A = this chain, B = another copy of it.
Amino acid sequence: MTCYRSINHRVDANSLRLYRWYYSRLWQWGLGLTIAVVLMLAFIERPSSFSYTSDPRFRPPPWEPPCGLTEGIEIVCLIIFAIDLTTKSYLIGWDEFRKCKWLIVYILAVSASVIDWTLTLSMFCDQNLRVRRLIRPFFLLQNSSLMKKTLKCIKRTLPEIASVILLLALHLCLFTMIGMLLFAKGEVRSHNGEWETYFRDLPTSLSSLLVLLTTANNPDVMIPAYSLNRGYSIFFILFSGFGTYFLMNLLTAIIYNQFRGYLLMSVQASILRRRLGVRAAFEVMSCQGLQCKSLEHVDKHLNITPFECACFPVSLQQLSDGFIQWEAFRSLFDELDKDRIKVHPPKPEYNSPLLQRLQLVFSHYYVMIVGNAVALANVMCICTILVLDSEKSIAERDDYYMEVINCFFILYYLMEMSLKILAFGWRGYLSYRNNIFDGLLTVCLLLLQITIFATYRLPFPKWLVSSLWSYFSLNKYIL
């Protein structure tokens, strides 16, 4: 029994309205925000080591929130979870609720959190055993159907990989034993570095080889033995060859295969459910004597954008004698499923021949390539200056050349922007998403540069300006 968004819910008018509200973007975003807040609390709760530096020598004493602040935020979140739980349980009804293990655990989690919360308050925040922090990740799992699917998939993958993991464990055990026998403590006169460092006792040997399986200590673990006799490398080659390159990759391949199969199946099931839903809707409506007029208020209930509305009448023309057939009904919903093709507004028409010539030139594909080349040149300039200035500290750097170059490029970008607006028109320019991005960054850079010139002092760290520059240039190049 899965508890993903199910079709088993109450269907009376009030419940349907509640259902629609519950699955509205607003409520789901609010729930997501609540979960984020609950998980973020760990950063400021006592005992928190959250400070700007991680070096304990320079760390200032952490900020301690007054007793009741984090608890106050938390109880609000818990109340929201309780409301969420009540709504969800009411919507699916008692029969479905009993079958759904996730919801039952959700109740337990919320109640345990509330009990622990009252205990904390009754002890005036002096609690050392913090139980409810362990429960918090469950709220994230419970709310995300992708997480639930991933968990289920992990559960299904475990038996498949168990045999490989057993083989890996046996491989490790066998080689640990052989290694301990091979690199046993030598006589006093011949110093055995391998035994001393990596094969002193069973835990050391096991961990040496376990780390070797990840190739993290790859040549180091071999060197003392290898310098005694090259033949010892055979042991490590055999171990890595079978363990790292065969068994570990087998593990990866099995997991890859399992997840791929499961996610494919889940998408197929989702499409099947959708088809079934459309069929059921048709059956219900045809029982009630469906006429094409009743379809006309469908668009009020579906969230149909103006663009989709435009294609709706085309499909409705397929109706014959006022009754809609199953084929037409299905193709109507297929139509709604399709990706919307974005239509850009038409280019403005100019009367002047000069403007027409300019429009023709600057709406050409090659202009984009020239723009990319200029952006690449910009990156090159920044790189060159970086290489030349790398030995100087920020205060020592002479930014004269840098700023001249920046001005040149900003002028170019501004010109490109205005010519594009001329060529595509204001609305046409904004209908391309990367144009919006370019334009925003250009305006940002212009404002920054003006601030620099006006005050002769930089209010921001200089690297921020340069990073923005390089980010902008590279992004132009990639897009």
Contact indicator B181/A463 (Cβ below 8 Å)? yes
Nearest CB in chain B to that of A462: its residue: B181
A394 within 8 A of B: yes
Q: In A421-473, which residues have CB < 8 Å from any B CB?
A: 462-463, 466-467, 470-471
- Copy total for this chain: 2
State whether B53 touches A230 (Cβ < 8 A).
yes
Chain B residues with CB under 8 Å of A389's CB are 184
Known: A185-B391, A228-B53, A463-B184. A177 touches B470 (CB 8 A): yes
Majority secondary structure of chain A interface residues (helix, strand, loop or mixed): helix
B394 touches A184 (CB 8 A): yes
Bound-state CA distance A230–B55 (Å) is: 9
Whether, in the assembled complex, A52 has its beta carbon less than 8 Å from a beta carbon of chain B, the answer is yes
User: Looking across the interface, which residue of chain B has its beta carbon closest to that of A188?
Assistant: B393
Interface size class of chain A, counting residues whose CB lies under 8 Å from the partner chain: 35 or more
Interchain residue pairs with CB less than 8 A apart (28):
A51-B230, A53-B229, A55-B227, A174-B471, A174-B474, A177-B382, A177-B467, A177-B470, A178-B467, A178-B470, A180-B386, A180-B390, A181-B467, A181-B470, A182-B467, A184-B394, A184-B463, A185-B390, A185-B391, A185-B394, A187-B393, A187-B394, A187-B395, A201-B387, A201-B391, A202-B386, A202-B390, A253-B256
**Interchain CB contact under 8 A, B387 and A181:** no
A177 CB contacts on chain B under 8 angstroms = 379, 382-383, 386, 467, 470
> How far does the alpha carbon of A82 sit from the alpha carbon of B58 in the complex, in Å?
75
Q: Which of B54, B228, B463, B471 is in CB contact (< 8 Å) with A182?
A: B463
A226 interface residue (CB < 8 Å to B): yes
Question: Closest B-chain residue to A166, C-beta based?
Answer: B478
User: Considering the complex, which residues of chain A in the window 201-233 have a beta carbon less than 8 Å from any beta carbon of chain B?
Assistant: 201-202, 226-231
Q: Which of B174, B230, B383 contacts A202 (CB 8 A)?
A: B383
Per-residue CB contact flags for chain A residues 48-66 toward chain B (1 = under 8 Å, else 0) read 0001111100100000000
What residues on B are CB-neighbors of A47 within 8 Å? none
Q: Is B201's CB under 8 angstroms from A390's CB?
A: yes
Residues facing B in A309-327 (CB within 8 A) are none
Question: What 9 pairs across the A-B complex have the smallest Cβ distances?
Answer: A55-B227, A181-B463, A185-B393, A201-B390, A177-B470, A174-B474, A202-B387, A181-B466, A178-B467
A377-414 interface bits toward B, Cβ cutoff 8 Å, 1 = contact, 0 = none: 00100110011011111110000000000000000000
A186 contacts B by Cβ under 8 Å: yes
Contacts of A467 in B (CB 8 A): 177-178, 181-182
Which residue of chain B is the closest to A202 with respect to CB atoms?
B387
Q: Which of A167, A379, A390 has the most CB of B within 10 A?
A: A390
Which residues does chain B contribute within 8 Å of A188, judged by CB atoms? Answer: 393
A173 within 8 A of B: yes
Is the C-beta of A170 less than 8 angstroms from some C-beta in chain B? yes
Does A242 make an interface contact (CB < 8 A)? no
Pairwise interchain contact B230-A174, C-beta atoms closer than 8 A? no
Chain B residues closer than 8 Å to A347, beta-carbon distance: none
Inter-chain contact A393/B184, CB cutoff 8 Å: yes
Assembly CA distance A393 to B180 (angstroms): 11
| Segment 155-188 of A: residues with Cβ below 8 Å from B | 167, 170, 173-174, 177-178, 180-182, 184-188
A392–B200 Cα distance when bound, in Å, is 10
Q: Quote the shortest CB–CB distance from A184 to chain B (angstroms).
A: 5
Contact A52 B170 (CB under 8 A): no
Contact status A474-B180, CB under 8 Å = no
Q: What is the CB-to-nearest-CB distance from A246 to chain B, in angstroms, rounded to a whole number? A: 15
Query: How many whole Å from A387's CB to the nearest CB in chain B?
Result: 5
Instruction: Note all chain B residues with C-beta closer than 8 A to A51.
Output: 230
A53 to B226: give the CA distance in the assembly, Å. Answer: 7
Q: Is A282 an interface residue (CB 8 A)?
A: no
| Supplied contacts A186-B394, A202-B383, A202-B387, 13 more A-B pairs, CB within 8 Å | A52-B231, A54-B226, A55-B228, A58-B227, A170-B477, A180-B386, A181-B462, A181-B463, A184-B390, A187-B394, A200-B391, A253-B256, A256-B256
Which residue of chain B has its CB nearest to the CB of A201? B390
* A122 → chain B closest CB, angstroms: 34
Residue from A55, A187, A256, A389 whose CB has the most chain B CB atoms within 10 Å:
A55
